[in-house]
Copies of this chain bind each other. A is one copy, B any other.
């Protein structure tokens, strides 16, 4: 059994990791840390875990974590992550980090959007943990930067379209709609029930930090700098991201042909599902699962293609993807512990 530690166990991605690891046949939770809830049984923090797990949250001690774990998930805010990860790395531990701190290749990009980077030398080594794009490198990775939730939803439909030169690299518009759990468990008026419920709004227009992340990966695909327009919206659901992508068609193919191409591109992928023509993704069909559902349609008169994806932001958009990375890194079947279909309705 792989002994797995979770640093920052009491946020939503922490909970989701625990939920998944409890059901994982090859992994066991060895240590849970939380600054805020140190000393408390995790089942007091999350009563849904009562009778399923006995562990207490501990204050973070790198020594203890390194000693008691074979593998570590860091589910702490950015900035904290880059303080912790190098210490684990030094001690020979492999880490999947769910913050933004190890997603960027170029420290300058990171620093423009976040803050000075504490260990830029590790960025070269770290792998962007999107298995559909970087599986080969993930296998041997020592540090994986788990992709952001929005980038996951945006990249998965775009990768095959760009690889197969179906769309223009210019004028890509990504309109994303996210549930509230993506904002985490910290208190804020923006995520207060009465402020969110029955409302709809965009935020961080032209300013969201997930935009450079999307651009990095797309530019990596094309070999030249590619710029996109990205707008996140807050929707009164707990889980789910629906991403609507608008592109100019570069090839005059039918919807059916393009869907076939995308399906073939992802044929071996365990978590990508392509909708048949005329059907489009719904976040309710992926809630609680690690699937990314993809649909698309072309309009030849307008020369346009609309691609859509649905993910659960805490699963394929965070913790599910993290466990998928763990499975790859340790040679487990990639679907292990991630096979449950969505909790519908």
Binding site for B on A (CB under 8 A): 12, 15, 18-19, 22-23, 46-52, 171, 173, 175, 177, 179-181, 185, 187-189, 191-203, 205-206, 227, 229, 231, 233, 235-242, 244, 246, 248, 273, 275, 279-289, 291, 293, 297, 299, 301-302, 304, 306, 308, 310, 339-345
Assess the A203–B280 pair: CB atoms within 8 A. Answer: yes
Could you tell me the distance between the alpha carbons of A297 and B180 in the complex, rounded to whole angstroms?
24
Please state the number of chain copies in the assembly: 4
Name which residue of chain B comes closest to A19, CB basis: B341
Given A200-B235, A287-B343, A341-B22, are A194 and B185 also a contact pair (CB < 8 Å)? Answer: yes
Chain B residues, CB < 8 A from A227: 301-302
Assess the B237–A233 pair: CB atoms within 8 A. Answer: no
Residue from B173, B194, B196, B339 within 8 A of A23 (CB atoms): B339
Could you tell me the distance between the alpha carbons of A299 and B228 in the complex, rounded to whole angstroms?
11
A319 to chain B, nearest CB (A): 12
Could you tell me the distance between the alpha carbons of A62 and B254 in the complex, rounded to whole angstroms?
44
Assess the A238–B306 pair: CB atoms within 8 A. Answer: no
Chain B residues, CB < 8 A from A196: 193
Residue from B193, B229, B286 within 8 A of A302 (CB atoms): B229
